[in-house]
Amino acid sequence: MRPARNLSVKVLGAFNWICDDTTAPVVMYSRGLAPGKGLGDLINGTNGTWLNNTVTVQKSATTIGTSPAAAWWNNPIAALTSNPGALTDLNSPSTIYYINGNLTTYGLKISAPKIAIVTIGAAMLSASDIDLNFAASECYSGSVSTSQMICSGNQNHLWIEAGINGISGTYTLRTGVRLYGNKFSRIHRSNIKDLRNNSNTMAAVELETGSTSNLITGLNANGVGKQGGLRVSGSNNIIRGLFVARNRDVASASQSLVVLTGSANGNRLISARLAGLVASGGTSYGLKIFGSNNAISDISISNIGSAGTNSGIYINGGGNNIITRSTISSTSNAGIEISGSSGNIITHVTTTLNNWNGLYMTGTVNNNLIHNFMSSWTDKSIQANTVSTTGTSNFFNNIVAASNGSGVAVDLASVGGSFNGFFDSGPGTTPSCSGGGFAGGACPGLTTDHSTAFVGKVVSADGINTSTLTDKFLAGLTETSSPVGI
């Protein structure tokens, strides 16, 4: 299989393609939607029909063949209508429900598999001016009374591609989309904004316990409540392309932009931006992880609280989580906190402009790997709680500390383990480490004075390389050479 470079998709341009040239004739396959495309790009929003599409195969500029224009699917398409006084029960399997303009409704309950909800273009779903539109066990047996736009329990193979506006007058939605026990479903290219800001508010999207093997792509949540843009209690879900910004502050409450609860295991969060958490009280976080075996990569977390104890990432309990290729900046507390959690890997991570520490460890912390970790413009790059923290077999490798306000780069208290590869750029010329078996404040593997390290360019022999760069270059020239521009 290889990309189909000579294949052009006319009219819609909605799919990526590959071709199999090991067969005769060559077979071409679509392998998913093209970037930025969704189910709404395949539907005629005026009359609720499938748009026609064609495929053209070309070699260089020569057209080899073109398929006839045709609708490629026969799933029924039905328009959603306003129903401000009662829940709309979507119960026809394999049906696409759509709106092509703003719509006010009491709430949407999905009670059959293989259903899609699509808002086309800038269309938005708004809730009627009500509270607790879903009664206890309305969406799923055992569920509590709450207010949400879309809810489904134990229905698989769903597709949700929706714009949702939480503000609706006196009352405001607590949740945009909630799935209980759903599998193999996708939330794609959805925008959810302005949810309620009170102590009962949940997240813009919630994957409850039992919701596994789902895919979330291109989710934007702005103006979210207490639990932020995403709260996951299920396992083995993939979230890619997440943007969460501007929470609506809940006074004296612990808040987060993304939460992985204690039952959230084996999830993947890839390519996310979390920014703008405002918290007037409580202890809040950009990303809070309680589960195990989750993998977080390519995320940016910034502007997490202007006062109080608000950190970028908080890992509590659970363990064996991975955080890689990520940046945490501008927090009112630490960049990352690890509390009573073991076996985690923090690698290729940068924390900067944190009001306290780059990495803070507390409780019993064992077998954690901190690798290729850089922390700058913090109080301390790495610190362990001097009273309550113990641990063994932690490994710190390739640590860079820059411009630490306290002058102490690493303070590991009673955390045991090994330390390999460290560079401290100050302030001052003496790298400072303490605790964890470090002796006399000296950092392992370093001389006490590194004031001349990494200064200027090499212009003379350094004892290892016996000649300068210029010497090596000129040695390769003959007498008749006439180099230009040297």
Domain edges within the chain: 2-66, 77-434
**134 CB-near residues (< 8 Å, 6+ apart):** 87, 107, 109, 143, 145, 146, 147, 148, 151
- Per-residue pLDDT of 168-188, as tens digits, reads 666 778 899 999 999 999 999
> Is 446's pLDDT higher than 50?
no
Which of 470 and 158 is assigned the larger pLDDT? 158
Q: How far apart are CA 309 and CA 287, in angstroms?
A: 14
- Asked which of 26-30, 57-61, 199-203 is least confident by mean pLDDT, the reply is 199-203
Question: Which amino acid, residue 65?
Answer: G
Are the C-beta atoms of residues 225 and 200 closer than 8 Å to each other? no
Instruction: Work out the pLDDT band at 11, boundaries 50, 70, 90.
Output: low
- Note the pLDDT of residue 214: 98
What per-residue string of b and e applies to 32-68 under the rule 16 or more CB within 10 Å gives b? Answer: ebeeebbbbbbbebeeeebeebebebeeeeeeeeeee
Question: What tens digit of pLDDT does each residue of 243-265 get?
Answer: 999 776 666 667 889 999 999 99
For the chain, the distance separating the N- and C-terminal CA atoms, rounded to the nearest angstrom, is 49
Which among 192, 122, 111 has a CA at the least distance from the CA of 158? 111
Distance CA 217, CA 189 (A): 6
pLDDT in tens, 18-35: 888 888 888 888 888 989
Check whether 1 has a pLDDT greater than 70.
Answer: no
Say if residue 397 is exposed, middle or buried (CB neighbours under 10 Å; 0-12, 13-18, 19+).
middle
CB-based contact 411:434 (threshold 8 Å): yes
417 vs 341, residue with greater confidence: 341
Residue 443 has pLDDT above 80, yes or no: no
Lowest mean pLDDT across 159-163, 296-300, 354-358, 389-393: 389-393
Global pTM reads 0.87
* Mean pLDDT, rounded, of the chain: 83
How far is it, in rounded angstroms, from Cα 412 to Cα 394?
A: 11
Cα separations in angstroms, 41 against 11, 33, 120: 11, 10, 8
CA dist., res. 366 & res. 71, Å (int):
58
- pLDDT average, residue stretch 98-107: 93
State mean pLDDT over 385-406. 80
Q: Render pLDDT for 451-463 as a digit per residue (tens, 0 to 9).
A: 444 333 444 445 5
Residue in 250, 74, 110 with CA at minimum distance from that of residue 174: 250
Nearest to 322 by CA among 286, 296, 358, 289: 296
**Pairing mode, strands 15-20 and 2-3:** antiparallel
Tens of pLDDT along 142-156?
777 888 899 999 999
Q: Is the pLDDT of residue 205 over 70?
A: yes
Instruction: Please check the confidence at residue 15 and state whether its pLDDT lies above 80.
Output: yes
Per-residue model confidence (pLDDT) at position 327: 97
pLDDT in the model for residue 463: 53
**Residue 472 predicted with pLDDT over 50:** no
Q: Taking residues 50-64, what's their average pLDDT?
A: 84
Q: How far apart are CA 264 and CA 255, in angstroms?
A: 18
Q: How far apart are CA 88 and CA 101, in angstroms?
A: 17
At the fourth CATH level, the homologous superfamily of domain 77-434 is Single-stranded right-handed beta-helix, Pectin lyase-like (2.160.20.10)
Phi first, then psi, for residue 242 (nearest 5°) are -110, 135
pLDDT over 70 (residue 198):
no
Read off φ and ψ for residue 218, nearest 5 degrees: 65, 45
For residue 292, CA distances in Å to 7, 25, 181, 344, 421 come to: 43, 48, 19, 9, 28
